[in-house]
Amino acid sequence: MNRMILKSEIHNISLVEKLIDEISAEYKIHTDIYGKLLLAVVEGVNNAIVHGNKLDREKDVVLEYQVTDKEIQFCIHDCGPGFDYNNLPDPTLPENIERTHGRGIFLMNHLADRIEFNDSGNQVSLFFNIA
């Protein structure tokens, strides 16, 4: 796995965007998949910076990725305590429509072909089919 370590600062999202651009160019990723990769991985890293590490510059976010003939996997890990990913409110329900939080995981679930969390919920793996 290739690795990028980021300080928990929002401006570091641009480094993630640049990485996705480089991977997409190197592996000739179709534009439809590129859009999904960009949105989902940026959302995951943003969640790790804001919710996991609480914007603490002393805490890192680790972004690992691996490309095979069939898929790209991104693994995003923060230093936070994690969360209960099995008990998330549905952002499409009327009572949650006005809420500004809670859409990130929903979005990642719909963009990635597969999503997995570690037991504590401070690491998410996103899988995208490319073949």
pLDDT at 91: 60
Q: Considering the entire predicted model, what is its pTM? A: 0.91
Assign domain 2-129 to a CATH class: alpha beta
On whether the CB atoms of residues 114 and 127 are closer than 8 A, the answer is: yes
* pLDDT (tens digit per residue) in 52-100: 999 999 999 999 999 999 999 999 999 999 988 887 767 666 766 666 5
Q: Is the pLDDT of residue 28 over 90?
A: yes
The reported pLDDT for the residue numbered 37 is: 96
Mean pLDDT of the chain: 92
Residue type, 82: G
Please give the Cα distance from 126 to 41 (Å, whole number). Answer: 8
The fraction of the chain above a pLDDT of 90, given in percent, is 81
In sequence order, what are the beta bridge partners of 129?
A: 71
Domain edges within the chain:
2-129
